[in-house]
Structure 1
Amino acid sequence: MCGITGWVDHTRDLSGQGPLLTAMAATMAPRGPDGSGVWLSPHAALGHRRLALIDLATGGQPMTPAGPADTAPPAVLVFSGEVYNHGELRAELARRGHAFRGRSDTEVVLRAYLEWGEGAFDRLVGMYAFALWDTRTETLLLVRDRLGIKPLYWTRRGDGVIFGSEPKAVLAHPEVPAEVDAEGLAALFTVAIKPPGQGVYRGLDEVRPGHVVRVDRDGVRHRRYWELTTAPHTDDLPATVAEVRRLLGDAVGSQLESDVPLIALLSGGIDSSAIVALAARHLAKDGGGRLATYALDFTGSETDFKPDALHVSRDAPFVRAVAGHVGTDHTDVSVETASLVGELGPALRARDMPGVGDLDVSLLLLFREVRRHAAVALSGEGADDFFGGYPWFRAEAERPTDNFPWSAGVKDRNAQLSPQLREALDLDTYVADAYRTALAEVPRLDGESGADRRMREVFHLQITRFLPFLLDRKDRMSMANGLEVRVPFCDHRLVEYLWNVPWEFKRTGGQEKGLLRQAVADLLPDEVVRRPKSGFPFGHSPAYLDAIRRTVRTIVADPAAPVLDLVNVPAVRAMVDSDAWFSGDFTPPPWLPRLIQLDQWLREYGVRVVL
């Protein structure tokens, strides 16, 4: 998967910045435990950390095309991610006269650029973020995949930019301070609301999904190379079911390539179970042996589990049903819930900012255990977003709220803010403005009205705001363990098809994700096909809740705690003695674990609040 970083400035000589680039790249060592490299020139310095999964021998980076040693390369590339159609592209480029030193998809991207220029990016299928320095024009191109599966941050400094796969790489540059302003705090105090491109830290941006950031002597420009196209859906329901099955099967098959062990994550829900069943079929067909699967559970969940808005049933019985039916080599990862509190710090450092508390930690621990056995995993992320799996989809179809659906139930977002912060920041206004901006981006279909019009809005909000929040969480928690997680449901060809499929088809049979259920019903046990949506598990145990309360009490009792300037202390004290801090959904997220992370972040990162 890898981590990339770099510094470009047309007015400075960067050829002596090797130690700095090495240090910036070293902050992302978990993303790339298998090697590192730096490439230097007068106006561009690139760094890379490698997680070797394909072409272990010749895929090192930064990469230049093969050529005479005494000539300057036409372009240099640092790449993170996977291009799943690199075999087809390599064959086409070879017919056009290009020679390859190995099987690396990175080399294919580099050669594709030399052949087609920026038009090469439209041909890529996969998840990726990369930086390409064209030495002939002294132009930097920062490119991100269509859905934003892989991250890429950048900031302007002087007459150039500094970039990295994670904020920590950019913050390692001595000219980039760790600061947060009112807009960044608003993004932290809400979930899945921030606009695409905002990096939370002051002055830090993200390359938007499906975009290219071009940096040359004329400045910085943005270009969108992919967007959803709205058109009438002409397939009937049986044809739609068949096409979904074909597209999903192709996506899964294309993502099985790896020169190191690969496994699949299994929760017993329809999403991960579909991926597992399709992957197992592909492996069996190709003589690849049995698929290994992994699932997460918490010790004591048999008695501690309590259903809520997003968690309707325990995973374990359904996991066993799928593993037995498909015939996988299955392993359960059991987590002690009391240990979650101690992992809030590592989860924070994985994100470089406060996340969603124990929801991050449980994923971090699962990936830590999986990494002991494999370096690549398949996951069902994205199915809920494209097929309409969350409970708010049906609610919006029946009673539209004119708000972000996952945030519509919040009454007073400012209640947890300190009086002084409320003077500078109004979260209700922030959310309302963000919603209007997001709604204006929706590509409409002429003549569409009523529930169909609203559901197109909801799916666009989901794809552009909520899904990036989930993909970011997945990337950070996995890459903190050096694990690459692939997400077949986010194949852009499947996404493009589903974008125009009507809501009534997606909910066929009267159940959420009915279309997906029909498409894979022949592969799975009936009880799994019928199982209602249930969210990723988290800790319910009294020991964990008590540990959270003790930690928060310690923070509130410390007059030097930096978080006290940001939160409503009396409200926090009252919350410690109640269960109001967690409602089982995303409105609001678990407050007390997030408060712990917020305090740690301000301390450890030395963040300066600028209001």
Structure 2
Amino acid sequence: MCGITGWVSFERDLGEALPTLEAMTLTMARRGPDDHGTWVAGHAALGHRRLAIIDLPGGRQPMSVRTPEGDVALVYSGETYNFAELRRELLRRGHTLRTTSDTEVVLHGYLEWGEAVAEHLNGMFAFAIWDGRRDTLVMVRDRMGVKPLFYHPTSDGVLFGSEPKAILANPLAETAVGLDGLRELFAFVRTPGLAIWKGMREVEPGTVVSVGRDGIRVDRYWSLRTAPHTDDRETTVARVRDLLEDIVGRQLVADVPRCTLLSGGLDSSALTAIAARRLSGTGETLRSFAVDFAGQEENFVATEHRATRDAPYVHDVAKLSGTDHEDVVLGSAALADPGTRAAVIRARDTPVGLGDLDASLHLLFSAVRRHSTVALSGESADEVFGGYRQFFDPKVRQADTFPWLASFAGGSRPRTFLDPGLSRALDLGRYIGDAYGTAVAGVERLDGESDLEHRMRRISYLYLTRFVRVLLDRKDRASMAVGLEVRVPFCDHRLVEYVYNVPWALKSYDGREKSLLRGATADLLPQSVVDRTKSPYPSTQDPAYTATMRGNARDLLADPADPVFGIIDRDGLRRAVDATDPRVAPLARRLFERALDVSLWLRMYKPVITTS
């Protein structure tokens, strides 16, 4: 796992641009604390920061091959889980490979198959290849978008990087955010290809972006397609189990310490159980980590969305699977620390505004990194198997909007926290409606598919092509900010393709969420976890945290000149600070967190905000 960046300029020799390239590369030091390298040749300059996972001495980058027609150089981030099979294939085809790293396999795979190499890879990856044979930069991103990659066209080429901060370190990129960028920040939809920063684009999942003298070309090599499902229930459950066994086995491969992130839910418990059993066969004990909050046992109040605490279920799984388990217990002071807030914003380059959820994830990953370099996560199982309550809500099923917004009036979240003038300019209701229409246009319908089945397919499609990318981006930025590689087995494209096309009646055959996953792994799990209902990522219920947020928001209000009040409604924030009704406390807390995030982001990045 690494950070990559680069610059292509067809009108100049970049030999003198090394200081700028090094500055771009340095922005991603946290993504790659183990090594760094640069490569400059003519019109191309590549930079790399390495987090060493496989073949620690042999996988240095940038990696290049000299051919009679010109050099071919690669910077690569991610993991290719089928690299061993591909390596054997390339050796059979006459390639000479000097390392055991997956990076060299990808480079030689490109020499063998060209841009079609992407179709041969199973993994999470984002990479860029400068092909000196045809003066072309080739950028490739994995099918589900697990690893990020951004680019910024220039007058004579392109800038690119794993994160926007790498691109913004080049003087050619303007630190500016326009209306569409602000809409992406506040609408809670994810438009494929669109970045928050002006002039910047995202390499879409499952695509190849080629940059040559004649311009930029985008080609899609994978998309989520509709296909008939003919397997019966028993066969389907068995297939899911077989896939999970294979996926987890592949994703445990590493030359560094590994662990799992365990929440006590069905998803992470299933992965932990499979991983623990596999490692025990080689005499190794799996480490597992869970997040909890100081005072949570005393402060916990059951809600409609969260009926139970995680800890008892976590401990049941750890005991049954025999993991070496640790609870990472976080206090309110650490969650509310401005330094933690700054670290989260720096990792994301934007004020995403998930408050203590982001803070706790950052602190959890920081604690895990002291023991492990690779962690397996249950992220994305809800999107794949149908775990969210919206899948079972008749109102959501009929709503013509994104399912995660359907429970709000008008199909979007209330926007009372925005400055009224900005709110009118953004027109988020229309933006969300247009984005929804574009998104569902990609859903293919089977001949004879019932209206209900098509509705459920559409909900699955929206979660798998829009919502999951928000979560994956959050996971990648938070983990890589502390040099931790988090792998997501449920994003293996084979599993995604297979389960997506399973009819809804079969996905929910026991009348509950994630029936297939439960059926496929119940024999490995404690009964308490098998019976547990879906519970979201935990949030602190410590009143001290809310009190600190309220105090910080009150301090923010004391400075009416703070630029945040060009975005956040000052009167609305004041009302939230003064509110005493406990029923509005959760909403007020989210507003405090959002206002503080935006204020700090404006001070840290000093973006030029354009609303015309």
User: Fold match, TM over 0.5?
Assistant: yes
Name the residue aligned to 1:109. 106
Please report how far the alpha carbon of residue 397 of structure 1 lies from its aligned counterpart in structure 2 after TM superposition. 8.0
Name the residue aligned to 1:15. 15
Mean alpha-carbon deviation: is it higher for 405-414 or for 477-486?
405-414
Name the residue aligned to 2:59. 59
Name the residue aligned to 1:466. 467
Once the two structures are superposed, residues 94-143 of structure 1 have per-residue CA deviations (whole angstroms, 9 ceiling, x without a partner) of: 01111111111000000001011112110000000000110100100111
Once the two structures are superposed, residues 164-217 of structure 1 have per-residue CA deviations (whole angstroms, 9 ceiling, x without a partner) of: 0011101111121211111111111132x0211111111111100000111001
> CA–CA distance in 2 between the matches of 1:13 and 1:170?
19
> CA–CA distance in 2 between the matches of 1:229 and 1:241?
21
**Aligned equivalent of 1:155, options 138, 149, 152:** 152
Please report how far the alpha carbon of residue 590 of structure 1 lies from its aligned counterpart in structure 2 after TM superposition. 2.5
Q: 1:167 to 1:421 in 2, by over 3 A?
A: same
> CA–CA distance in 1 between the matches of 2:103 and 2:364?
29
1:563 equivalent to 2:564? Answer yes
Instruction: Provide the secondary structure at the position in 1 that maps to 2:555.
Output: helix
**Aligned equivalent of 2:297, options 290, 293, 302:** 302
Name the residue aligned to 1:383. 381
Name the residue aligned to 1:504. 505
Name the residue aligned to 1:530. 531
Name the residue aligned to 2:496. 495
1:7–1:161 Cα contact (<8 Å) kept: yes
**Counterpart amino acid of 1:220?**
I
Runs (4 or more) in structure 1 with deviation over 4 Å come to: 396-399, 579-584
> CA–CA distance in 2 between the matches of 1:218 and 1:581?
56
Alignment of 1:149-228 (within 5 A): 149-191=146-188, 193-228=189-224
Alignment of 1:277-426 (within 5 A): 277-285=273-281, 287-342=282-337, 343-355=340-352, 356-396=354-394, 399-411=397-409, 413-426=414-427
Please report how far the alpha carbon of residue 91 of structure 1 lies from its aligned counterpart in structure 2 after TM superposition. 0.2
> CA–CA distance in 1 between the matches of 2:69 and 2:326?
50
> CA–CA distance in 1 between the matches of 2:78 and 2:381?
20
Please report how far the alpha carbon of residue 580 of structure 1 lies from its aligned counterpart in structure 2 after TM superposition. 6.4
Once the two structures are superposed, residues 451-473 of structure 1 have per-residue CA deviations (whole angstroms, 9 ceiling, x without a partner) of: 10101100110011110000011
> CA–CA distance in 2 between the matches of 1:257 and 1:194?
32
1:125 equivalent to 2:122? Answer yes
1:146–1:210 Cα contact (<8 Å) kept: yes
Once the two structures are superposed, residues 491-513 of structure 1 have per-residue CA deviations (whole angstroms, 9 ceiling, x without a partner) of: 00111101100111111211111
**Aligned equivalent of 1:265, options 246, 251, 261:** 261
Once the two structures are superposed, residues 362-421 of structure 1 have per-residue CA deviations (whole angstroms, 9 ceiling, x without a partner) of: 111100000000100011011000001011111158742111111112236332221221
Instruction: Provide the secondary structure at the position in 2 that maps to 1:590.
Output: helix
Instruction: Provide the secondary structure at the position in 1 that maps to 2:15.
Output: coil
Instruction: Provide the secondary structure at the position in 2 that maps to 1:597.
Output: helix
**Counterpart amino acid of 2:7?**
W
Question: What is the TM-score of this pair, normalised by structure 1?
Answer: 0.96
Please report how far the alpha carbon of residue 20 of structure 1 lies from its aligned counterpart in structure 2 after TM superposition. 1.0
> CA–CA distance in 1 between the matches of 2:144 and 2:204?
9
Instruction: Provide the secondary structure at the position in 2 that maps to 1:74.
Output: strand
Please report how far the alpha carbon of residue 488 of structure 1 lies from its aligned counterpart in structure 2 after TM superposition. 0.5
1:397–1:454 Cα contact (<8 Å) kept: no
**Aligned equivalent of 1:144, options 141, 144, 149:** 141
**Counterpart amino acid of 1:308?**
T
1:294–1:332 Cα contact (<8 Å) kept: yes
Instruction: Provide the secondary structure at the position in 2 that maps to 1:213.
Output: strand
1:283–1:289 Cα contact (<8 Å) kept: yes
1:396–1:455 Cα contact (<8 Å) kept: no
Once the two structures are superposed, residues 512-543 of structure 1 have per-residue CA deviations (whole angstroms, 9 ceiling, x without a partner) of: 11111010010011110111111111221111
> CA–CA distance in 2 between the matches of 1:565 and 1:320?
47
Alignment of 1:412-451 (within 5 A): 413-451=414-452
1:581–1:592 Cα contact (<8 Å) kept: no
1:556–1:564 Cα contact (<8 Å) kept: no
1:213–1:223 Cα contact (<8 Å) kept: yes
Once the two structures are superposed, residues 259-286 of structure 1 have per-residue CA deviations (whole angstroms, 9 ceiling, x without a partner) of: 110111111100000000111121123x
Instruction: Provide the secondary structure at the position in 1 that maps to 2:398.
Output: coil
**Counterpart amino acid of 1:389?**
G
Number of matched pairs: 603
Once the two structures are superposed, residues 346-374 of structure 1 have per-residue CA deviations (whole angstroms, 9 ceiling, x without a partner) of: 11111010122211111111000000001
2:179–2:610 Cα contact (<8 Å) kept: yes
Name the residue aligned to 1:542. 543
Unaligned runs of 5+ in 1: none
> CA–CA distance in 1 between the matches of 2:307 and 2:559?
39
**Counterpart amino acid of 1:414?**
R
Q: 1:100 to 1:293 in 2, by over 3 A?
A: same
> CA–CA distance in 2 between the matches of 1:396 and 1:168?
42
Q: 1:7 to 1:398 in 2, by over 3 A?
A: closer
> CA–CA distance in 2 between the matches of 1:413 and 1:531?
31
Name the residue aligned to 2:31. 31
Please report how far the alpha carbon of residue 591 of structure 1 lies from its aligned counterpart in structure 2 after TM superposition. 2.6
Name the residue aligned to 2:456. 455
**Counterpart amino acid of 1:322?**
V
> CA–CA distance in 2 between the matches of 1:538 and 1:93?
48
> CA–CA distance in 2 between the matches of 1:32 and 1:419?
42
Unaligned runs of 5+ in 2: none
Question: What is the TM-score of this pair, normalised by structure 2?
Answer: 0.96
> CA–CA distance in 1 between the matches of 2:164 and 2:342?
16
Name the residue aligned to 1:240. 236
Instruction: Provide the secondary structure at the position in 2 that maps to 1:81.
Output: strand
Name the residue aligned to 1:48. 48
1:252–1:488 Cα contact (<8 Å) kept: yes
Percent pairwise identity: 53
